[in-house]
Amino acid sequence: MAKIELINICKKYKDETVIDDLNLTIKDGSFTVLVGPSGCGKSTTLRMIAGLETATGGEIRIGGKRVNDTAPGHRDVAMVFQNYALYPTMTVRGNIEFGLKNRGVAKAEREKLIAEIAEIVGLDQLLDRKPQQLSGGQRQRVALARAMVKKPKVFILDEPLSNLDAKLRNQMRTELIQLHRRLGTTFVYVTHDQVEAMSMGDEIVVMHQGVIQQADTPMKLYHEPANLFTAQFIGTPAMNVLDTRDAAGLSLESESTVAKLGFRPEQAVFDWGGMHEGYRLTGEVMTRESLGAENIYQIKAPGGVFFVKTFLEPLREEQTVRVVVPYEQLYYFGPDGKRLYGVRVQERQLAAAGGV
């Protein structure tokens, strides 16, 4: 078990800077997910922790020990690759055993460990098969077993579920969460899928263009996004964002310029009885998606297109709708995309809007 510290990390390829001055502490025993769009530097960061890429600058510490110059095999980390990277000419047993052999673990001990791990991941019947005789899910388990058997301080997982079908992915997601609880080891997980990040991580690091946008718990990330990028990256559908210039009937009072305002689709309420107080929008329903328990509406208003999500309500058939977002559910962002706090809606406007 170990804490991972990345201090002033830089990564450059010739002239291109991928990561510049990155600072991050991954807590001991946490399930930390690095998430972001492709090319945001999340995989590079992960590979630097594993030692598969060298950092151009800065310091990497695992368990308090500087590992910049330590070979990947000696960092006490194990990795699960996106394409599993199993040794195709070895059996399942051979794949799991290879790392142990290289460490000089005695044969009797190796056999005991393999039997143990194989049972945990449900491979005991398949130990003598070759990887090409296994299904995607089974290969995934071999990759996990190969990593687990080394009893590493840190588990590194690089988009491990992206090659599985939707059903299996959900199942493996649950299994990984349980595995993390059982082992209590630090997990560092990379994905581009925010749903995966939200459902698995207890600490999420949102990255964009090589810069950490926000590192927080899933709930904090969702409810208290630090900037426009995080706000729009987390959540399905994403947060609705409107330009304040297009937000008619809303007068804001703030020390700095408010460029955008946003609200979560599920915070908007259909305003039929005029009972709710808040920011009002009128628009045409463009699409309706009914997913059973929840309905998603895409609405075109003069200020822009936005989404509304309702739970356990019958699907609305009207063409023109009015929705209201309670003032306290509005998020404000400056011209640089940073979240603004302490923005107030002017009383006069509030009263006027409420009187409609």
Partner 1 sequence: MTAWEKLRPYGMVAPSIIIFSMFFIYPIFYMIYLSFYDWNFVSPDKTFVGLQNFKDLLTDEDFRQVLSNTTLYTLMTVALTTGLSLFLALWLNRKGVFHAFVQGAIFSPHIISLVSISLLWSWLMDPEYGLLNWVIGLFGFEKMQWLSHPETSLVSLVIVAVWKGIGYNTLVFIAGLQSIPADIYEAAALDQSKPWTTFRRIILPMLSPTIFFLVIINMIGSFQVFETIAIMTQGGPVNSTNTLVYYIYENGFRFFKIGYASAAGVILLAIVGLLTIVYFRLLSSRVHYR
Give residues in contact with partner 1 (CB under 8 A). Answer: 50-52, 71-74, 77-79, 81-83, 85-90, 98-99, 102-103, 130-132, 146, 150
Nearest to partner 1 of 130, 276 (CB atom):
130
From the CB of 71, what's the least distance to partner 1, in Å?
7
From the CB of 107, what's the least distance to partner 1, in Å?
16
Nearest to partner 1 of 33, 143 (CB atom):
143
Residue-wise DSSP of 276-330: --SEEEEEEEEEEEE-SSEEEEEEEETTEEEEEEEES-PPP--SEEEEEE-GGG-
From the CB of 99, what's the least distance to partner 1, in Å?
4
CB 167 within 8 A of CB 134: no
From the CB of 83, what's the least distance to partner 1, in Å?
6
Nearest to partner 1 of 132, 319 (CB atom):
132
Q: How deeply is 293 buried, as exposed, middle or buried, from its count of CB atoms within 10 A (0-12, 13-18, 19+)?
A: exposed
From the CB of 138, what's the least distance to partner 1, in Å?
15
Nearest to partner 1 of 192, 338 (CB atom):
192
* Overall residue count recorded for the chain in this entry: 356
Nearest to partner 1 of 78, 323 (CB atom):
78
Quote the distance between the C-alpha of residue 203 and its chain's center.
9
Nearest to partner 1 of 2, 353 (CB atom):
2
From the CB of 184, what's the least distance to partner 1, in Å?
21
Q: Which residue has the tokens 């609880």?
A: 181
b/e per residue 229-268 (b: at least 16 CB within 10 A)? bbbbbbbebebbbbebeebeebebeeeeebbbbbbbbbbb
